[in-house]
Amino acid sequence: MLEIVIQGRGGQGAQTAGNLLAATFFAAGAHVQSFATYGGARRGTPVSSFIRVDDRPIRVRCDIERADAILCFDATLLDGRLLAAADERTLIVVNSGRSRDDLAARCRATASCRSMRSRSPGAPDSAASSTPRCSARSRA
């Protein structure tokens, strides 16, 4: 199962991006689960979009605990809570003018983030793990 977290601020298009990505996977024949969270409905507040994709029906109803990819539209949101969903296989994409090294240093300063790596275009993606990562998961 592929699990993706998109984080941004109201008005940046994080929810729209999540909906478009989910619709694209669905149109390609995948089973998709997409949901969002947001605070007060006003511009600039943090919003998150969560997507699960699999070749079988998705019965999981818990939050994403370990993401295969994190897309962060605002580098100021790159904090411990968001990075807690990352492990050594997680692809992290950040919209920022800061250097990769600066962002990696920020990540290392966050105790919950284990590693941040650079991936060049065309490099193979890490395989999506089908290992259950939350106790509420059921593949029935």
> Which structure tokens are listed for 68?
């295969």
- Give the model's confidence band at 106: pLDDT under 50 very low, under 70 low, under 90 confident, else very high: confident
Determine the pLDDT at residue 85: 92
**Predicted pLDDT at 128:** 36
- Residues contacting 55, CB < 8 A, separation 6+: 30, 31
Q: What is the pLDDT of residues 48-64, one digit of tens each?
A: 999 999 999 999 999 99
Strands 2-9 and 69-72: parallel
**Is the pLDDT reported for residue 67 higher than 90?**
yes
CA dist., res. 32 & res. 29, Å (int): 9
Q: Domains along the chain?
A: 2-109 (3.40.920.10)
* Residue-wise pLDDT tens digits, 2-53: 999 999 999 999 999 999 999 999 999 999 999 998 877 678 889 999 999 9
Tell me what pLDDT residue 110 has: 63
The four Cα atoms 123, 105, 100, 112 give a dihedral, to 10 degrees, of 50
The mean pLDDT value of the chain amounts to 80
pTM of the entire predicted model: 0.76
**Nearest to residue 128, comparing CAs of 94, 101, 84, 90?**
90
Q: What is the mean pLDDT of residues 93-104?
A: 88
**Residue 99, SS3 per DSSP:** coil
